[in-house]
Every structure is written in C-alpha cells, then in structure tokens.
Amino acid sequence: MWDMRSPVAPPAPKEEAEVADWLSNHVTSVATWCGALSTFAIYSVLYAENKFYRLFEHIFIGLATGYGVYITWAEVLGPKWWEPMVGKGQWYWVFAALLGSMFYFMYSKKHAWVSRVIFGLFMGLSAGLMFRDLYEIYFPQMGASMKPIVGKSIGVWESVNVIIFYVILLSSMSYFFFSFEHGNPVIRRTAAAGRWFLMIGFGAIFGATVMGRMTLFIGRLSFLVNDWRPEVASAWRYSSFRIVVIVLALAAAFLVYRSISARRGAPPPSS
C-alpha cells in the first residue's frame, strides 16, 4: 500500500494506462462524436424545449465561462497586471486591484454606494472614449462620403452614385424631422420615400443576419456529413454499436411520442 508521506506515487494501474492510450490514439474520433452529440442536442430545441438541450446549454455556458476566465488571466491580468506588479516591481498596479474590487460592493446593500463610484468612473471613461472614436473614426468617414457630383475626374456613373447617395440621405433624414408637421407635400413625400429606404436598409441587414445564421448551419451540416458520417460508417460494422443505435432511436421515438401525447391531452389555454 502506498504511503501518503512518500514523495513517489505508485504506478498507475494497467486499466488506467490502457484507457489513456486508447484516448490518445482515438482523440479525433472522441472529439468528432462529442461535436456531433452537441450539435444534435442544441438543434433539438427546434422541436421543443427539452432537458437534453438544457444539459448541453449549461455545459456550453460552463465551458465558455471557464475559457473566458482563463483567457482573462492568461492574456490580460497575468502579463499586464500581475507580472509587472510582482516581477518588475511596479507596485502602483495594486491600485488597479483596489479599484476593481469596488465593483463587488454592488452585492452589499449597506455599501452599494462604493460600487456606484467605480461604475460612474467607468461609464465616464467609456463615454469619453466613444466620443473620441466618433471624432477620429466616424467624422472622417462622414466627410469622405460628401463627394462632389461633377468634376474633371468624375465619371457619369460615379456622379449617378453620388446623387443616389444624397437622395437617400436627405430622404431618410427628413423622416426624422418631427420639429414641424409634415404638411407640405414635398416634405411628406420625401419622408415617405425615406421610410421606404429605411425599410430596405433594415431588410438588407436582416437578410445578412439570416445569411450568417445559415452559414453556421451549413458549417455544422458539413461537419456531420464530412467528419461524423465516416466515423459512423466505420463503427457500423460492430454489432454492439448497431444495438446501441437502435436502442437510442427507440428511446428518442418513445420520448417524442410521449411529448406529442402530452400536448394533445393538455387542456386548451384559457382566454
């Protein structure tokens, strides 16, 4: 029996070594199966809210939180705060820890005012940085957008593009002029055209968002077809794997049938 006071640990059992060797040799297959299982679990919410989806949702949130904490320490706090303070003697970095600890006073009813001080300071700094970005980034962009319509080096189609830009800009701005009533026919029709331009712009933004979501779905579908399907084909030759798949399919069918039966037997919602 191994003595706890001994500095040398006993050798790992043979079974544990075999498991470790198997995992090291099949790490790609294990990662592929975990990815496929996670994909099916997350997309199961498209049918209905279920515990299977909830489990993997919590796993994802936990992994994301742990990874975020690691990245925060490894790339921000460690090299930019702890190492200069401890290794290079820059002791004044301890004040950053004191200011950061003030955020946690929000959980105290008696001393919540301490957190308001640092929140106000943080929001003031953020507002100042946003105004600086507005001046340094967006003002030059707005100035560069105001191009001349005609000129020696300006072609016909470039002039047409500039005219369309000004028409859309002025029409969209006229829609938000609420200081006076849109009684004039010119102002009223210009504001109506601006509303149409805004709806077209919002529709394009929504379409781009849907395309982004479809790109994610296509990526997961490509993973299932190109990565997971060969793993299934390789494991299908084993009878034990086929039995497990059949049992899981029957269990899923039973759960779906029970869910549908529960919905049909539920009383209608009261008006």
On whether residue 218 sits in a domain, the answer given is yes
Q: How far is CA 190 from CA 80, 137, 185, in A?
A: 54, 30, 8
Domain boundary among 185, 204, 225: 225
**Other beta carbons within 10 Å of 171:** 19
On whether residue 268 sits in a domain, the answer given is no
On whether residue 120 sits in a domain, the answer given is no
On whether residue 77 sits in a domain, the answer given is yes
**Which of these, 223, 180, 201, lies nearest to 43 by C-alpha position?**
223
Specify the amino acid at residue 56. Answer: F
- Quote the number of domains for the chain: 2
Dump pLDDT digits (tens) for 192-233.
899 999 999 999 999 999 999 999 999 999 999 999 999 888
Domain boundary among 89, 114, 131: 89
Which structure tokens are listed for 81? 């705060």
Q: Using CA atoms, how far apart are residues 39 and 57, in angstroms rounded to an integer? A: 11
On whether residue 183 sits in a domain, the answer given is yes
Domain boundary among 70, 89, 108: 89
All residues at 6 or more sequence positions from 29 whose CB lies less than 8 Å from its CB, including other chains: 231
On whether residue 105 sits in a domain, the answer given is no
Q: Using CA atoms, how far apart are residues 124 and 102, in angstroms rounded to an integer? A: 16
Place of tokens 């190492």: 83
On whether residue 247 sits in a domain, the answer given is no
Q: Which domain holds residue 157?
A: 151-225
Distance of CA 71 to the CA centre of its chain: 16
Dump pLDDT digits (tens) for 3-41.
545 555 555 566 677 667 766 777 888 888 889 989 988
* Helix or strand holding residue 37 (H, E): helix 27-43
All residues at 6 or more sequence positions from 93 whose CB lies less than 8 Å from its CB, including other chains: 81, 84, 85
- Asked if 33 contacts 228 with a C-beta cutoff of 8 angstroms, the reply is yes
Which structure tokens are listed for 70? 């690691």
**Other beta carbons within 10 Å of 232:** 14
On whether residue 64 sits in a domain, the answer given is yes
The burial class, CB within 10 Å (0-12 / 13-18 / 19+), for 257 is exposed
For the chain, residues with pLDDT lower than 70 are: 1-15, 18-19, 22-23, 265-271
Torsion of CA 202, 204, 208, 214, to 10 degrees: 100
Which structure tokens are listed for 220? 């997961």
